[in-house]
Chain A
Amino acid sequence: MLVPLAHSAIAPSQLAALLDAGAPSLAHLTLLDIAVIAIYFVMVIWIGFYLKSKANTSEEFFMAGREMTAWIAGLSFVSANLGSLELMGWAGSAYQYGILAAHWYWIGAIPAMLFLGIVMMPFYYVCKTHSVPGYLKLRYGQGASVVSAFSFAFMTVLMSGVNMFAMAEVMKVVLGWNLSFSIIVSSLAVAAYVALGGLRSAIFNEVLQFVLIWGGALLVPILGLIEAGGWNGLKARIAKNIATGIVAPGDYTHMWRSIGHFSDNPMGIHWTGIVFGLGFAISFGYWTTDFLVVQRVLAANNLRSARMAPVIGSFFKMAVPLIVILPGLLGLVVLQNANGSHMQLVGENVIKDCARNSADSGLADPSACSVALASTAVLPETQKAVLSGSGGVQLHSYNEVLPLMLVRYCSPGLLGLGITALIAGFMSGMAGNVSAFSAVWTYDIYKPLFNNKAKDEHYVAIGRWATILGVIISIGTAYMVMSAAGIMDYVQALFSFFISPLLGVVLMGMFWKRATRQGGFWGLLIGTLTSVGLYAWVKVDPSAVKYVAFSPLAKALAQDMYRALWSVSVAVLVTLVVSLCTPAHSLASLEGVVYGATKLPKEEPVPIYKNEYFWMVLAILCFLALNIYFW
């Protein structure tokens, strides 16, 4: 399915037009950079073909043969969540909101990852389910499983589209490539390697990409800190830029001090939203019930590895802000325009309003651009330069901060490695979505609803085709994302639609024996409808935000957190009430899926450095230390 360009119907002149985005690119790759990128693709395809022979049965294709060690499962677990969306979106959010964005890596991930590994994983692993909807089928029956499978499949392809868009953005900003061209070509490459090697290929590439992301992106914060004069120098320069009006007012370097009230921080959020909405409803929903990440841990070779994998992953997750959040903060003080003035990044909506017909022509709509710029913190002289097209000033969006930083510091070879890291991040994120979509489509939608008596090879073939189908649908969704103002707002909205209600139902099913089949089904359905309904309510009547998020000042990200909290609460309440009104299950039917009705296998004693509880305590201490240091 990977169509070589030489065999496509595109004429050379058309290809040139496709590659030309109409805007000057940030960098021109040298032969060395191109070689670095090309070698990466050769390696990826080599791995895909090498693993094709190891993806013949459904267990091999969808579960990687359940042979992964704790380290591989753990790195893959984190890497599946480290796509271009993560790298670029959160670097952009750090530029926009400051270190508050690191909450998504720490309180928004670590407690949930440890809870998954230590508390929940035994139930997922012992019941030998292939997916999270598969667990729901064992616990609540077909109804809840199908609702969950359809919502997950829908969310997955949307997420995949977001990843594609992020990747195309990298190509547009750095290399000047046309968005559509990048989306089509890169998605075909991912479809090829996931369809060839299944989950094992996805996991191998995720681990490879994890290493590349660190190798390619870590140099940016190192050199950035040297230029800014260390962490203290960075803080001093941000304060100076705020004083001179270059940076919008706010506390960019403290995580908790500025969230006592909705109006005290640029994110428009309150600490209750961070702790209960993000720290519980969103993060527990994502890290413990999103099959995309749970699938990686289910592929572990034994229960101890399955428990250790999220614990190992938590340490790396805590370190990710170093290569994502820090470059965003550094962008506030070091980025410069071509004329030497300070570069100020803006939202995607401003970029859109200030678009030019071509690189050297005037603005398409100067009045719209003028209005859009007036709503930003961009300095008057910079606004003038943008409107007149003089002085070498070009607008860039928040999401472009990481590529801009790469171009600033990376010489030939290193730039190629940095670009490869971003491409690798995209591959990782999209492959994760597509492989999870393929498994859920085959096991939880196709098999129970269309054909449950076919041979094993048939399901492997369906899985391969589902991979390609997932990519095609993702391409369509990528174009939807282009019109969204901010990538991350869109993704957070998705989480609260589907993931949070699922969390409520899974937790009730796993830890409450009295929860019934009907309770799970209605809890999931009404929880999801609650989330969608609240979202629609605020869209139709923006003043409703004071009821949904408890304050009229709550901004988009804050609204998502409270909406997630509402939906998980409703899901739990409905499951509780409906379960109490319906006949209880026998204890024997709950064996292997519910706490108190499951006999967990006894684990052999191991030295302390191999014990998951030891590492969990260490992870908690690191987590607390980081939050206190950046309080």
Chain B
Amino acid sequence: MHNSGISIWFFIGVLLTIYGAMILGYGVFELVTGQTANVILANLHAPVWWGAILLALGLFYSVRFRPSRNG
């Protein structure tokens, strides 16, 4: 895929980075303000750790497959 321009993994990295940042941001907001959503197991703060995982994966793929690196 590299000889076809931007790698699909880069698109995936960008999307996961954006989603991770948004979800983690909301999770931190919940944590700080104490205003949790009306869902089951809200006390586990899933947006914080799930958002962080998505963000970490997204950043890895964005950097690893950035267009300049693949030519």
Contacts and interface: CB of A to CB of B under 8 A. Distances in A.
A32 B22 contact: yes
B4 A411 contact: no
Interface residues of A, number: 36
A192 interface: no
A200 B6 CA distance: 13
Contact of B22 (A35, A204, A212, A409): A35
A36 B19 contact: yes
B15 A40 contact: yes
A226 interface: yes
Given A207-B12, A211-B16, A411-B26, 5 more contacts: A39-B18, A208-B8, A226-B44, A413-B26, A414-B47
Interface in A215-239: 215, 219, 223, 226-227
B19 to A, nearest CB: 6
A208 B27 CA distance: 24
Contacts of B12: 207-208, 211
A40 B15 CA distance: 8
Contact of A411 (B3, B11, B47, B54): B47
Interface residues of B, number: 30
A207 B4 CA distance: 16
B41 A204 contact: no
B28 to A, nearest CB: 11
A573 to B, nearest CB: 44
Most B C-beta atoms less than 10 A away, residue of A65, A72, A204, A226: A204
A72 B16 contact: no
Contacts of A46: 11
A409 B42 CA distance: 8
Given A39-B15, A208-B11, A412 B40 contact: no
A169 B50 CA distance: 27
A263 interface: no
Interface in A335-385: none
Sorted from nearest, which 5 A-B pairs have the closest CB atoms? A411-B37, A413-B23, A413-B26, A204-B8, A411-B39
Nearest to B18: A39
Interface of B: 1, 3-6, 8, 11-12, 14-16, 18-19, 22-23, 26-27, 30, 36-37, 39-42, 44, 46-47, 50-51, 54
7 contacts: A65-B4, A211-B15, A334-B40, A409-B46, A410-B46, A413-B47, A414-B47
B37 to A, nearest CB: 4
B25 to A, nearest CB: 8
A462 B27 CA distance: 49
A59 interface: no
Chain A interface SS verdict (over half): helix
A532 interface: no
Nearest to A64: B4
Contacts of B6: 50
Contact of B42 (A212, A226, A411): A411
B68 to A, nearest CB: 16
Interface in A29-74: 32, 35-36, 39-40, 43, 46-47, 50, 54, 65, 67-69, 72
Interface string A67-103: 1110010000000000000000000000000000000
Interface in A374-414: 407-414
A226 B1 contact: no
A305 B28 CA distance: 43
A417 interface: yes
Contact of B51 (A67, A200, A413): A413
A36 B40 contact: no
A32 to B, nearest CB: 6
Contacts of B51: 413
A409 B23 CA distance: 14
A54 B3 CA distance: 11
B5 to A, nearest CB: 7
Given A39-B18, A40-B15, A411-B36, A54 B4 contact: yes
